[in-house]
Amino acid sequence: MMILDTRGHPVSSQAHFTERFTRTDYDSLAYEITVDDPISYVKPFKNTRVWKLMPASEEIMEYVCTENNKEVKEGLISSEIDKQKAAPEK
């Protein structure tokens, strides 16, 4: 048994996925996925998302995932904090 998503929804080896991307207008992109798995689910189901085009005046900000990163403490790297604490005073 495989897992469909991060929530742990199961899918079998008989699962069939259909993805559709549709440009609904100038600044919109619709995404639709249909999951058909007769072993794991009673009937096929769909999930739809719509994304909007970002204005040219906006900047894409850097994203850093720190989830489960034991090195990060309150936005600072713990090793840097430890170095500061361990440094001998002059």
User: Number of folded domains in the chain?
Assistant: 1
In a domain, 58, yes or no: no
Instruction: Give strand pairing partners of 16.
Output: 36
More confident residue, 71 or 77: 71
Cα of first residue to Cα of last residue in the chain, in angstroms, is 61
Give the three-class secondary structure for 18: strand
pLDDT in tens, 4-52: 888 888 999 999 999 999 999 999 999 999 999 999 999 999 999 999 9
User: Is 37 within the bounds of a domain?
Assistant: yes
Looking at residue 33, its pLDDT comes to 94
Do the domain assignments include residue 75?
yes
Give the residue carrying structure tokens 């619709």.
30
Largest Cα–Cα distance of the chain, in whole Å? 71
Does 75 or 85 have the greater pLDDT score?
A: 85
Which pLDDT score is estimated for 62?
A: 86
Q: What is the pLDDT of residue 76?
A: 53
- Burial letters 54-80, b for 16+ CB under 10 A, else e: eeeeeeeeeeeeeeeeeeeeeeeeeee
Q: What's the confidence (pLDDT) of residue 89?
A: 62
Q: How far apart are CA 18 and CA 44, in angstroms?
A: 11
3-state secondary structure of 9: coil
**Which residue range forms the structural domain that includes residue 26?**
2-53+63-86
Is 27 a domain residue? Answer: yes
